[in-house]
Amino acid sequence: MELFDQANALHESGRYAEAEQCYDLLLAQNPDNPGLLATVGTLNLRMGRYGLAISLLHRAAEKLPQSDVLCNLAVGYKYSGQYDKAHEWFRKATEVDPTADALANYSALFVNVGTPEEAIKQAKRALDLDSQCAMAHWNTAIAQLELSMWETAWDEHEWGFKSKMRIDRKIANKPYWDGTPGKTVAVYGEQGLGDEIMFASMLPDMMRENKVIYESHPRLKTLFEKSFPGLEIHGTREQKEADWHNARDIDYQCSIGSLGRWYRRSKESFPGTAYLKAESAPMGNKFRVGISWTGGMKEGRVRTRSIPLSWWKTVLNNDCEFISLQYTDCADELAVLSSKGYDIAQFPEITDKDSDYYETAKLVRSCDLVISVCTSVIHLAGALGVPCWVMVPKRAAWRYGVAGPMRWYRSVRLYRQPNADQAAWVPVVQKVGLDLEDLLRTNERKVAYG
């Protein structure tokens, strides 16, 4: 028991490799213990080893068909992209013991897969059992955001802190802003670069009523300083602790993702106009198109949001100057296409994961059009007012909604994948290529910014 307690403590503290060593010793002595198999399966889920997790959890479920074991097995199938099997095991889990936690996990299966109504239905079942179930509230929030239910979604979105899906920065240990105007509020960015850029559309609204001090991701500091004159900005969001607030008289703190609660409660409250500014990188004489074809950081999201560049020939056959806005190492892909006569310019300064995002902004600003899968470049183009065509997966994040336009940016046009099969990208890319051909016939370049 002492070794198990040690392993469990390491597990819960995130020291997975050390926990794994302890569990391995325990498994050698207890290879058929269902509780131990379930625990090690859960550890492998956290480590992203979905195949091994599924195998261990299957063995555990045969002898210990408890709701939490079945839910974790379902999660393994979900993370590995096997949604039908995930649905089957979540259903079994909620039949065995329909706890609030099990139903909340089940509701998450329907988030960002095109069925937000079902996510809300299962989350409500969870909340009927436990009105304080944080994950059920959070899944409700994301599903409602998918459905553009702005009037209620943002209030549910605040449950992200209790569910630990959002980070409470606790700047200067100040109370959370309650919407009272005329205050000095320290606002901090959250989530990825694209989300921070998207939420930054609400900073001007807040600045009209309050003195705002903003903590940004370090890569966004230059871009935001040039875009929001007079806004005091500190690029310290990635630091565990920052001390700039000690010399400031601050009334409240607030996460930038919470501003929707005050400034985006209806579709009419989305202006959709450009709000970021950047100089343009040097341009040639041809119509310039920036492209990005691989999106996401986690393995599952990369698979969902990416389209092999070799499939882009319908687009690349047009007479344009193509430039890569891809932030990942793509030299090999571009070399293959170059050998076949497709010339796509690269800019190494934007591929460094720590590079100043203003360099990417200058390139995007120089484009007549951006064509991309779902990446942070979409938000950058939309915020700069640059025309942007997005190839959106069937299982898209809430920002893109389940239908209609993207409310955050008027310059962004969505091309939706008809189903979740990878091959379903082919007609989408063909449509984009044909639309680009039609656009070039007008021979018009972007002549004004924003």
What pLDDT, on the 0 to 100 scale, is given for residue 114?
83
What pLDDT, on the 0 to 100 scale, is given for residue 424?
92
What pLDDT, on the 0 to 100 scale, is given for residue 117?
96
Q: pTM of the entire structure? A: 0.90
Q: What are phi and psi of 194, to 5 degrees?
A: -60, -45
Q: Who wins on pLDDT, 2 or 68?
A: 68
**DSSP structure class, residue 211:** E
Q: What percent of the chain has pLDDT over 70?
A: 96
What are the CA-CA distances from residue 173 to residues 3, 102, 181, 211, 217 (Å)?
A: 38, 34, 20, 18, 20
Could you tell me if 166 and 190 are in contact, meaning their C-beta atoms sit under 8 angstroms apart? yes
Q: What are phi and psi of 81, to 5 degrees?
A: 85, 10
Look over the chain and give the mean of its residue pLDDT values, rounded to a whole number: 91
Q: What is the spatial distance between Cα 314 and Cα 430, in angstroms, rounded to a whole number?
A: 6
What pLDDT, on the 0 to 100 scale, is given for residue 449?
35
**DSSP structure class, residue 176:** B
What pLDDT, on the 0 to 100 scale, is given for residue 420?
84
Task: Work out the pLDDT band at 24, boundaries 50, 70, 90.
Answer: confident
What pLDDT, on the 0 to 100 scale, is given for residue 171?
83
Residue 444: is its pLDDT beyond 70?
Answer: no
Q: What is the spatial distance between Cα 231 and Cα 214, in angstroms, rounded to a whole number?
A: 7
Give the residue-averaged pLDDT of 325-354.
87
The C-alpha torsion from 171 through 183 and 188 to 109, rounded to 10°, is 110
Q: What are phi and psi of 114, to 5 degrees?
A: 95, 5
What pLDDT, on the 0 to 100 scale, is given for residue 241?
83
Q: What is the spatial distance between Cα 149 and Cα 101, in angstroms, rounded to a whole number?
A: 24
Q: What percent of the chain has pLDDT over 90?
A: 74
* Domain extent listing, the chain: 2-160, 171-269, 288-441
Per CATH, is 2-160 categorized as 1.10.260.40?
no
User: Per mean pLDDT, which range of 147-151, 300-304, 310-314, 350-354 is the poorest?
Assistant: 300-304
Tens of pLDDT, residue by residue over 77-135, are 998 889 899 999 999 999 989 999 999 999 999 998 889 999 999 999 999 999 999 99
Who contacts 196 (Cβ-Cβ below 8 Å, separation ≥6)? 189, 190, 216, 217, 220, 256
**DSSP structure class, residue 372:** E
What pLDDT, on the 0 to 100 scale, is given for residue 450?
35
Task: Work out the pLDDT band at 1, boundaries 50, 70, 90.
Answer: low
Tens of pLDDT, residue by residue over 187-246, are 999 999 999 999 999 999 999 999 999 999 999 999 999 999 999 999 999 998 888 988
Residue 297: is its pLDDT beyond 60?
Answer: no
Tens of pLDDT, residue by residue over 122-181, are 999 999 999 999 999 999 999 999 999 999 999 999 999 999 999 888 887 899 999 999
Task: Work out the pLDDT band at 404, boundaries 50, 70, 90.
Answer: confident
Give the residue-averaged pLDDT of 423-445.
90
Tens of pLDDT, residue by residue over 264-282, are 999 999 999 999 999 999 9
Fold classification of 288-441 is Rossmann fold (3.40.50)
Q: What is the spatial distance between Cα 86 and Cα 254, in angstroms, rounded to a whole number?
A: 36
**DSSP structure class, residue 335:** H
Task: Work out the pLDDT band at 348, boundaries 50, 70, 90.
Answer: confident
What pLDDT, on the 0 to 100 scale, is given for residue 344?
93
What pLDDT, on the 0 to 100 scale, is given for residue 442?
80
